[in-house]
Amino acid sequence: MSPLNRQLANLAFANFTAGTGILIVAGMLNELAADLDTSVAMAGQLFTASSLAICFGAPLLAGLTTRIDRRVLLTAALALFALLNLAAAMAPGYAMLAVARVAIGLCVAIVTPQAAAIAGMLAPPAERGRALSMVFLGFAISTVAGVPLGAYLGATLGWRITFALVGALGFIAAAAIWFLLPAGLQVAKMDRKAWRDLAGSAAILLVIATTVVQGTGQFVLYSYIAPVLREFLAATPVMISLLLLWSGVCSVAGNIIAGRLIDRLHPPRIIYAALAAMLAAFLMWPATRGSFALMMLALMLWGFGCFAINISQQARLVALAPQLTSASIALNSSGIYLGQALGAMGGALVIGEAGLGALSWAGAIFLAAAIGVSMLAGKAGAAVRPK
């Protein structure tokens, strides 16, 4: 393995750890709700809490940490992430668990965007798309291994042991970054002028808006995927784990395919294809009730699109303004998690008003809107081929 690929693999593992730590709650909602004596909708707000922390923490921490060596920063963030997951495992009740989830979100607010920014720094321009794809592959794999395994372990060993295992994973990731990532990696300082340049770019802002809108649409449904699968298919914990595993496999496939194409095609083409696939999945979702085969098809389409769009959005931002990569990707990460938080909150409202069966219709509306916003981004100059 080349030195660059070894470095990217370490960053991918850090992303896998962070992704597992955030997404694992989605697979354990039923167990968390029962053990904490609360509703599924309230348990889903544990996901909202960490997502909001990432949303607001990513750009703030990106600005505050620009002087810190990236190896030191990522190692410290991952070590604290590990300790906080151990604290979550020992939380006496809902309130303390929510506090721990917010703090975990702040750690991930450093890890995820900075791993992508470092990949953009390490790779030559012609290979940035592949590098971003490889690093983001770690997050995709977390849906294949982390979330389904969390759903299974949460149901068999309990959610506390599951959080503790994520903590152990965090310590391993911290050690890998410290010993294998090169020292002296620095990002450009984000001064007021840089932030003004970013805020003044309609193209960048519209790309990030696309991230928010499509993320909201996805997580209206995904935040409550375990109870939805239980209602639609009378799914057992094992069946839920297997379906999440299938979805994750498709996500990894979509990530790999996008990574291989993105340096030859314009990122917006990948984005439109990904949004169209996810919209098709949500529109067919009502027909999946009682049909395991149709559910697998819907999850496949959704999986192909969900991570292909994220790496394409990141590549789009790097191409637009390479000198603003650290901040723009941090803001895009904020957009991802703002969408997750809005989706989780919106999903709770939909459940209260119309039940679990209406979640896919609400999500489809947002995904259709995201296509329109992405078109506006293209008109504003976002469709720039990486150079």
Helical spans, DSSP H, in the chain: 3-27, 29-35, 40-64, 70-89, 94-122, 128-141, 147-156, 159-180, 192-199, 202-222, 225-233, 237-261, 267-284, 292-306, 308-320, 325-354, 359-377
Name the CATH superfamily for 3-382.
MFS general substrate transporter like domains (1.20.1250.20)
Q: Is 158 left (phi over 0), alpha (psi -120 to 50) or beta?
A: left
pLDDT of residue 387: 41
**pLDDT tens across the length of the chain (387 residues):** 688 888 888 899 999 999 889 888 877 888 888 898 888 878 888 877 887 888 888 878 877 887 888 889 999 999 999 999 999 999 999 999 999 999 999 999 899 888 887 887 787 777 777 787 788 888 778 777 776 777 788 888 889 999 999 999 999 999 999 988 878 877 666 667 777 878 888 889 999 999 999 999 999 998 888 889 999 999 988 888 789 889 888 988 888 888 888 877 778 889 999 999 999 999 999 999 999 999 999 999 999 998 889 888 888 887 787 777 777 877 887 888 788 889 988 998 999 999 999 999 999 999 999 999 999 988 886 444 444
pLDDT of residue 1: 67
Provide the CA 315 distance to its chain's centre, in angstroms.
16
pLDDT of residue 188: 65
The one-letter amino acid code at 84 reads L
pLDDT of residue 75: 93
Long-range contacts of 186-194 (CB under 8 A, 24+ apart): 186/66, 186/67, 186/69, 186/70, 187/66, 187/70, 187/114, 187/117, 187/121, 187/325, 187/326, 188/66, 188/323, 188/326, 189/66, 189/67, 190/62, 190/63, 190/66, 190/326, 190/327, 194/323, 194/324, 194/327
Residue ranges of domains in the chain: 3-382
User: Quick check: pTM over 0.85?
Assistant: no
pLDDT of residue 190: 66
